[in-house]
Amino acid sequence: MSKYLFLCSGFITLATVLAAQTTPPAVYKNGADLMALIKSKLPATPDQADAPVDNQSAYRINIVRRGKPGVAMAHATGPAKGTEVHYIIDGAATVITGGTIVRPEGAPQGRGGAGATIQGGETHHLTKGDVLVIPAGTPHWYKEVEGSVTYLEVRFDVDKK
């Protein structure tokens, strides 16, 4: 039950924020076009690849495929800034959110960096059909990927172009 409430609240939040922006009255992408984009633009087993769906000044919509775990990051500033919604299209992964980003000694500072992980935080096992809403500036880390995971990533309240 809580999963469905989380899903509904995420979509309501997304719709509210997008409606408040000075963007077209609606953005529509049909499912067949999204699936064709996945097949044509994303390699079958990359470390990580993305394909833009619709990137405007107030929001970004991309399809992302991960073939291996990533590094911890938090998008508080810059062009990737903003709240993120990840809708899992295919595959499964374990994602850690919140907590504190930990960088190996000597690693560059910034949003993540090579080898960055998270200490503490909440663990989420995501599978097809799940949604994860990540508020702007929240640390997040795709810690484990089972084969590959493909998701629709929507970012809003991004820095203007």
Q: Model confidence over 75-96: pLDDT tens digits?
A: 776 666 789 999 999 999 999 9
Instruction: Please give the average per-residue pLDDT across 115-143, as a whole number.
Output: 95
Measured CA to CA, the distance from residue 159 to residue 28 in angstroms comes to 22
Q: Are strands 83-97 and 100-102 parallel, antiparallel or unpaired?
A: unpaired
This prediction has a pTM of 0.77
Instruction: Give the per-residue pLDDT at 151.
Output: 96
Question: CA end-to-end span of the chain, whole Å?
Answer: 39
Q: Model confidence over 4-43: pLDDT tens digits?
A: 555 545 555 665 555 555 556 788 888 898 888 888 888 7
Closest alpha carbon to 124 in 9, 6, 45, 44: 6
Contact 7, 132 (CB under 8 A): no
Q: Give, for 87, the enclosing helix (H) or strand (E).
A: strand 83-97
Q: What are residue 153's DSSP bridge partners?
A: 62, 86
Q: Model confidence over 133-142: pLDDT tens digits?
A: 999 899 999 9
The conformation of residue 73, written as its DSSP 8-state character, comes to B
Measured CA to CA, the distance from residue 130 to residue 141 in angstroms comes to 16
